[in-house]
């Protein structure tokens, strides 16, 4: 699914303040390398239903056998393996005897301590990889998982490593066995071990995704092979909210456009971002925050939410809005399936101009048959003229006012909002009172 950096930022998939991003919340990997592999997964969504289903099956398999995942492999153990190769030590004996092994221990004590400690971490790491292979490599395993595990199986199939599988823990090794293993690892297994670590990082990324599905009770979406675009979700919510309100959403070729209205703070932007981020997660094989979701594979996802002006180039906010819409239209008229999200179109010009521009854009967009649209606006007045188009579904978020106090239900309702709350908010926040005192 094609997307761009603007859309990923709009949907908070990534964020300058990373702790507030979707990626950060769902990152439950155990290693730094696993986190970076997960970042790559989040950076590029998939464009093939089979590939998406393979990831889903991998996560489901990990969840089914999660209790057997080796927790002995940690970020600390990976760091110690790297330190073993980066630190200069006195030459290890190639074929240590009992006497030469004790000699090394006695006369190279600091190096011996590092070697023993590091070899213990390698022992645990390779044991952990072997356990993952034993538990997860079977005929029913998804092909993408099989590929990594078969490669790992080949790498650890070394006679010199047999001692690891014959002992329960590294402390069971004699001094001679430990130094023999350390010599092989340091001088003959470095490249193999680093390949093995890279494989584990991929596995850790999937493990982190599976744990996030479990932790946040996410649901795997169902992809249909319909030629026409479909998006149907029940009890969908925004993954970043602690106490979210869920929505039911349905878009298809007959109703491919949601015209969304409501007061500021009523929930329009949150709804749009909830839909967009969930569709994105579905396209990387991840579970989604919903009771259920059914959708077609989208060829692209684009948003127009957080447009900014460009002081350096002398470009106004409105100009950049226009450019974003222009570039979007150029992309989505290619006959492919797109999901387009637009929040508060044409905020950068006067009301009359914005109404005319918005109407023209909406009337143009609904001609595009193989794309779905959600557009929010504060220009309620244009809604009546758009009711003649059967493909537009009118939704709004309600705001209740009691004794000049606002309350938001965040419930998505049918129709067009008629809330006019700007002056009330000014009055509630005592701005009017401050001005009267001047």
**Domains of the chain and CATH, by start:** 31-215 (no CATH), 222-437 (3.40.50.300)
- Strand-pairing partners, residue 223, are 295
Q: How far apart are CA 173 and CA 122, in angstroms?
A: 13
DSSP E strands in 325-432: the ranges are: 338-343, 371-376, 392-402, 405-414
The DSSP symbol for 315 reads B
Give the C-alpha distances (Å, rounded to integers) separating 137 from 65, 179, 226, 288.
12, 31, 33, 27
Buried b / exposed e across 329-346, counting CB within 10 Å, b at 16+? eebbeeeebbbbbbbbbb
Q: Which pLDDT belongs to residue 404?
A: 66
Q: How far apart are CA 315 and CA 50, in angstroms?
A: 43
Per-residue pLDDT for the chain (438 aa), expressed as one digit of tens each?
A: 999 999 999 999 998 776 789 999 999 999 999 999 999 999 989 999 999 999 999 999 999 999 999 999 999 999 999 999 999 999 999 999 999 999 999 999 999 999 999 999 999 999 999 999 999 999 889 999 999 999 999 999 999 999 999 999 999 999 999 999 999 999 999 999 999 999 999 999 999 999 999 999 999 999 999 999 999 999 999 999 999 999 999 999 999 999 999 887 788 999 999 999 999 999 999 999 999 999 999 999 999 987 654 433 435 778 888 898 999 999 999 999 999 999 988 877 788 888 999 999 999 999 998 999 999 998 889 999 999 999 999 999 988 876 667 778 888 999 998 776 666 666 777 777 777 788
Backbone angles phi, psi at 315, to 5 degrees: -100, 130
Q: Which pLDDT belongs to residue 203?
A: 98
Q: How far apart are CA 23 and CA 30, in angstroms?
A: 15
Closest to 200 in 3D by CA, of 143, 141, 151, 142: 151
Which residues lie closer than 8 Å to 339 by C-beta, 6 or more apart? Answer: 229, 231, 275, 276, 279, 298, 300, 301, 302, 371, 372, 373
Q: Which pLDDT belongs to residue 18?
A: 67
Q: Which pLDDT belongs to residue 314?
A: 39
pTM above 0.85, yes or no: yes
Q: Which pLDDT belongs to residue 313?
A: 44
Q: Which pLDDT belongs to residue 309?
A: 46
Q: Which pLDDT belongs to residue 423?
A: 65
Q: Coil, strand, or helix at residue 147?
A: helix
Q: Coil, strand, or helix at residue 348?
A: coil
Q: How far apart are CA 393 and CA 340, in angstroms?
A: 15
- How many CB atoms lie under 10 A from the CB of residue 165? 10
């Amino acid at each position: 699914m094609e997307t761009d950096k603007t859309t990923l930022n709009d949907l908070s998939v990534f964020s300058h303040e990373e702790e507030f991003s979707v990626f950060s919340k769902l990152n439950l990997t155990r290693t730094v390398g696993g986190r970076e592999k997960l970042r790559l997964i989040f950076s590029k969504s998939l464009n093939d239903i089979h590939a998406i289903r393979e990831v889903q099956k991998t996560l489901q398999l990990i969840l089914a056998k999660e209790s057997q995942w080796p927790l002995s492999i940690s970020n600390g153990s990976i760091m110690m393996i790297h330190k073993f190769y980066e630190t200069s030590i006195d030459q290890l004996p190639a074929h240590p005897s009992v006497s030469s092994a004790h000699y090394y221990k006695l006369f190279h004590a600091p190096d011996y301590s590092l070697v023993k400690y590091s070899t213990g971490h390698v022992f645990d790491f390779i044991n952990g990889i072997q356990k993952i292979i034993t538990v997860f490599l079977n005929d029913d395993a998804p092909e993408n998982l099989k590929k990594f595990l078969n490669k790992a199986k080949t790498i650890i199939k070394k006679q010199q490593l047999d001692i690891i599988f014959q002992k329960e823990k590294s402390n069971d090794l004699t001094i001679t066995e430990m130094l023999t293993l350390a010599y092989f690892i340091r001088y003959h297994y470095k490249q193999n071990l680093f390949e093995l670590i890279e494989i584990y990082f991929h596995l850790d990324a999937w493990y982190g995704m599976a744990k996030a599905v479990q932790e946040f009770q996410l649901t795997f979406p169902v992809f249909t092979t319909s030629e026409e675009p479909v998006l149907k979700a029940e009890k969908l919510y925004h993954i970043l909210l602690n106490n979210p309100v869920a929505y039911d959403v349905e878009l298809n070729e007959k109703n491919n456009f949601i015209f969304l209205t409501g007061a500021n703070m009523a929930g329009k932007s949150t709804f749009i971002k909830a839909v967009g981020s969930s569709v994105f997660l579905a396209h990387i094989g991840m579970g989604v925050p919903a009771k259920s979701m059914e959708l077609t594979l989208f060829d692209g996802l684009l948003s127009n939410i957080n447009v900014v002006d460009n002081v350096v180039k002398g470009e106004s906010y409105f100009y950049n809005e226009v450019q974003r819409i222009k570039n979007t239209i150029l992309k989505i008229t290619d006959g492919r399936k797109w999901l387009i999200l637009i929040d508060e179109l044409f905020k950068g010009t006067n009301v009359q101009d914005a109404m005319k521009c918005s109407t023209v854009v909406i009337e143009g967009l609904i001609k595009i048959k193989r794309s779905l649209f959600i557009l929010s606006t504060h220009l309620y007045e244009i809604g009546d003229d758009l009711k003649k188009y059967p493909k537009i579904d009118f939704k709004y978020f309600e705001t209740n006012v009691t004794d000049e106090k606002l309350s938001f239900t965040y419930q998505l309702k049918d129709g067009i909002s008629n809330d006019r709350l700007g002056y009330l908010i000014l009055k509630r926040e005592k701005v009017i009172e401050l001005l009267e005192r001047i």
